[in-house]
Amino acid sequence: SADIISTVEFNHTGELLATGDKGGRVVIFQREQEKVSLHCHPDFWLPSTDKTVKLWKVSERDKRPEGYNLKDEEGRLRDPATITTLRVPVLRPMDLMVEATPRRVFANAHTYHINSISVNSDYETYMSADDLRINLWNFEITNQSFNIVDIKPANMEELTEVITAAEFHPHHCNTFVYSSSKGTIRLCDMRASALCDRHTKCEYQHKSHGVFEEPEDPSNRSFFSEIISSISDVKFSHSGRYIMTRDYLTVKVWDLNMENLQIETYQVHDYLRSKLCSLYENDCIFDKFECVWNGSDR
């Protein structure tokens, strides 16, 4: 159904909540003191539809101009012969009207469906990620992007993992993180290399800075292990010190200074572990879930 919500996200102040559905619609809610009402705030938002990113300006109007000299109240041009005085237009109250105006379209850079968009802390660039590539964009340039991660093998039969999520560091514009279907998180520094998928910060498990992955217990391995360990979302804390990840049955918190072991693990719907076979048969085991920090990183 087109009405099924596919993503939810707060803005940085927590006052606005944006929801997107499978029909490609975005609705913005604004919190008020006594009630929650549905109306939009003048702002820019950056949704993606399949393989294209679009920048929109959202604004609201509760006044309209009246008393034009060359047009009547219906917007029709007046006969110049009837214009005998010069009037100053005035603003009259009106019912609240929300307008969404397209500003830019960033296209032709992704072969696969976009799964993540993240605005950089410099507010000049953002990145978009699909299954195999992450591209860096400038807001002012719509026809060119820079490929900063490319994990596509020369032979697609050798493909063993895909990118599942990506996000910029909240304070350091050169740093970003991306997760994979293998349950791996890679912390990357764009200052170290133009292409960040094959450098020392992102390559070897537990041997180089930048890779966060939990060692697998062989005794717990099953047919479903690889499926449920796939990371569906990754988020930096507001402070930038921690990373939170979400897989099918757990939420994990990692300290950037401690790569080999997560500092906290929260079980989610643990009772489903005994029902993985049924979930696999009806494809529910492939559902993706998001995670988010609250304002205090707790």
pLDDT recorded at residue 253: 93
pLDDT recorded at residue 261: 65
pLDDT recorded at residue 45: 60
pLDDT recorded at residue 33: 57
Query: Could you please report the per-residue DSSP string of the chain?
Result: -TTSEEEEEE-TTSSEEEEEETTS-EEEEEE-SS-EE----SEEE--EETTEEEEEEEEEEEEEEE--SSB-TTSPBPPGGG--S----EEEEEEEEEEEEEEEEE-S--SS---EEEE-TTSSEEEEE-SSEEEEEETTEEEEEEEEEE---SSGGG----EEEEEE-SS-TTEEEEEETTS-EEEEETTT-SSTTSSTTSSSTTTSTTEE-PPP-GGG--TTHHHHHS--EEEE-TTSSEEEEE-SSEEEEEETTB-SS-SEEEESSGGGGGGHHHHHHTTGGG--------TT--
Q: For residue 172, what is the domain's CATH number?
A: 2.130.10.10
Distance CA 53, CA 89 (A): 38
Residue with tokens 């979302």: 233
Does residue 97 lie in a domain region? Answer: no
Does residue 36 lie in a domain region? Answer: no
Q: How many domains does the chain have?
A: 1
Does residue 92 lie in a domain region? Answer: no
Domain that holds residue 206: 108-297
Distance CA 41, CA 100 (A): 10
Does residue 150 lie in a domain region? Answer: yes
Neighbours of 288 (CB within 10 A): 15
Does residue 174 lie in a domain region? Answer: yes
Distance CA 130, CA 121 (A): 21
Does residue 91 lie in a domain region? Answer: no
Does residue 31 lie in a domain region? Answer: no
pLDDT in tens, the chain (298 residues): 778 888 888 877 777 888 888 887 888 887 775 544 444 444 556 666 678 898 888 888 888 888 788 877 777 888 888 878 888 888 888 887 777 888 899 988 899 999 999 999 999 999 999 999 999 999 999 999 999 999 999 999 999 999 999 999 999 999 999 999 999 999 999 888 777 765 434 433 333 346 666 666 666 677 888 899 999 999 999 999 999 999 999 999 998 887 666 788 999 988 998 999 999 999 999 999 999 888 787 7
Does residue 69 lie in a domain region? Answer: no
pLDDT recorded at residue 38: 44
Q: Which residues of 196-207 are buried (b: 16+ CB within 10 A; e: fewer)?
A: bbebebbeeeee
Distance CA 294, CA 61 (A): 31
